[in-house]
Structures are given as C-alpha cells and as structure tokens.
Amino acid sequence: MVQVQDILVLFQTSPALDVTPSAWARYEASKGTGIKDLIEEDSPPYKNAMAAMRDGWQVIQMSEYKHRTEADGYELGPFPYQTVLSRFKQMQPEE
C-alpha cells in the first residue's frame, strides 16, 4: 500500500507545544480524495502538540514568539499561533 501524508494544524493562544489547542484542522490524504467524514469535534484530537508528537506526528512548522507588552492588549482576528504536524499513513481504499 502507498504511504501518504496527513496534516494536522493546531491553532493555539501561545507558541508553546504544551498549550491546549483552541481550534484545529485535519487534512487526511490517507482517507482518499473525497471528503466524506467531516464532523464537528467537541474536543481536539490531542491534548497538545507534545501529545501528538508522542503519537508519531512530526512538527513541520511552528509559529514564532511575538514579543508583546501589556499596552498591546488583545489581538482580534485569526489565532496568532499554530503548529503544523505531519505523519504518513497507509492510503485507505476509496469507495
């Protein structure tokens, strides 16, 4: 069977690898070209990026730390930090 790359993106409130993700996205090429199983998940697939790494995921991108002062306050917009992870899995046969 062919090995293909799955991607997991964890959106966080800090660049630390031990922070619980606030949101996440999965791109699972191993499940084929059609997306038939998109579901809303109530909890992240892993407690944090470190837990995903211990399950075989490899970090391919980390956000850099932004120096901020108290005067900066809160940012509006997309989550400022994300960790992108990758792992290779066997391609599942398409239906």
**What pLDDT does 63 receive?**
74
Asked, for residue 66, whether it belongs to a domain, the answer is yes
Q: Residue 5: pLDDT above 90? A: yes
**What pLDDT does 24 receive?**
93
Q: 40 is in which domain, residue-wise? A: 3-90
Angle at 81 between CA 63 and CA 57, to 5 degrees: 70
Asked, for residue 28, whether it belongs to a domain, the answer is yes
| Mean pLDDT score of the chain | 83
Q: Residue 15: pLDDT above 80? A: yes
Contact 92, 31 (CB under 8 A): yes
Asked, for residue 95, whether it belongs to a domain, the answer is no
Rounded mean pLDDT, 40-67? 88
Asked, for residue 74, whether it belongs to a domain, the answer is yes
Q: Residue 20: pLDDT above 80? A: yes
Q: What is the DSSP letter of 56?
A: T
Asked, for residue 50, whether it belongs to a domain, the answer is yes
- What is the tally of structural domains in the chain? 1
In whole angstroms, what is the distance from residue 90 CA to residue 6 CA? 10
